[in-house]
Amino acid sequence: MIRPLLVTILFCFLVPIITVNGDFSNDSLTTTDYEPVIVTVDSTNFRFTPSEVTIYETQELRFFWSDEILGHNAVEENGIFDSGNPETDVDYSFIFEVGTNGTYTYICEPHELMGMEGIVIVKPIIAESPVQEESNQEVSEKSLPNFLLPSTLMILIFASKINLRKSL
């Protein structure tokens, strides 16, 4: 009589624990927490700073400077991104989509010969978009009781049958 009851209780507790743990692995990386990485022009007027940045796919890369003495731009060597004409005030952002990880080199067109260039290292992410994560959570919350109810009922029926047999 005690054993089936114990099994039932154990099963009811273990199943939700296993299910919840399984879902946690998907949440290990989220894209929404990433701050934009800002690249500007240093005091020499001919260098980007930082000249090398490491970012993640979907993280914002922002080229920002204002009141510069000279006009600058940031143009990726294969045209992946381009801030436009050289300006003394620039606020240009670019986002590398998922799957575009790699190393990118860009230049400032008017000062290319002076070595005004920068490198962006884009690392891949495994995360889903925030919208997908929310919907996954909804699904697991909804499916959990639906899944537990039939299995719990079956175990209870099974347990009661064993008890019935024993009492006969």
Angle between helix 130-167 and 2-24 (nearest 10): 170
Measured CA to CA in angstroms, residue 145 lies from 15, 58, 64, 150, 151 at distances of 11, 35, 51, 9, 10
- For Cu ion, the closer of residues 39 and 127 by Cβ is 39
- Rounded Cα distance, 120 and 168, in Å: 77
Q: How far is the CB of 52 from Cu ion (least distance, A)?
A: 17
Tell me which residues in 56-85 interact with Cu ion (CB under 5 A).
72
Q: How far is the CB of 43 from Cu ion (least distance, A)?
A: 13
Site string for Cu ion, 88-117 (x = CB under 5 A): --------------------x--x----x-
Q: Tabulate helix, strand, coil % of the chain (nearest 5).
A: 40, 25, 35
- Closest residue to Cu ion using C-beta atoms: 108
- For Cu ion, the closer of residues 59 and 83 by Cβ is 83
56: amino acid identity, one letter: Y
Give contact residues for Cu ion (rule: CB under 5 A): 72, 108, 111, 116
